[in-house]
Chains A and B, each alone.
Chain A
């Protein structure tokens, strides 16, 4: 079945630690996105990529980094520079104007 796989489902980060969230899709979609969702809030765009080896900052990119070395994969690293990383992280992919397909999300907590 085609879809988007995010892992891990739950992630705990210590202060000062970098962590990487995985996102893999087998939908053959060109574009991929990372969003952050805080409790009771909407989705805020962190980074997006429309083709391999290219990506752009979204509205809240500070403290995050990404790579797009393969069409199927778009990992997100939450760096120690992100001071308030506790949130629900959603990866999505799309093809042109057909809307997004979302992964199941990663819930990140600072301990």
Chain B
């Protein structure tokens, strides 16, 4: 059974701090990794994707991938209250189909 694991949270950080979200996956053959943000009552939106080991930065967001450890993370720098949402980690398998983690709820306190 292919699995993607995330801490459900809630993760609470003060405004301006770095939020660190973590995800592990079971399928060593997975090629692509995605982070989605989901606000309450809304559909998920793609915020980052990463294919290669190492770091990928986009504005305040950094995705980190370590395939040997089967670990992917998302760092949010200078966290804002508007970043408060559930963050879903997703991993590809079988021709592009995604498996999603349960999501980590992030709360950024002003």
Contacts and interface: CB of A to CB of B under 8 A. Distances in A.
Nearest to A90: B43
Contacts, number: 50
Given A50-B95, A105-B43, A43 B100 contact: yes
B100 A42 contact: yes
A90 B102 contact: no
A105 B40 CA distance: 12
B54 interface: no
Interface in A95-111: 95-105
B45 interface: yes
A96 B96 CA distance: 5
Interface string B45-79: 11001010000000000000000000000000000
A99 B32 CA distance: 8
Given A42-B103, A43-B88, A99 B42 contact: no
A45 B100 CA distance: 9
Chain B contact-residue range equals 20 to 34
A97 B43 contact: no
Given A42-B88, A43-B88, A100 B43 contact: no
Given A42-B101, A42-B103, A50-B95, A97 B31 contact: yes
B97 to A, nearest CB: 6
B19 interface: no
A74 interface: no
B92 A102 contact: no
Given A42-B102, A42-B103, A48-B97, A100 B42 contact: no
Interface of B: 31-32, 34, 42-46, 49, 51, 88, 90, 92, 95-98, 100-103
Given A98-B96, A105-B42, 13 more contacts: A31-B96, A41-B102, A42-B100, A43-B44, A48-B97, A95-B96, A96-B96, A97-B32, A99-B34, A99-B90, A100-B98, A103-B43, A104-B42
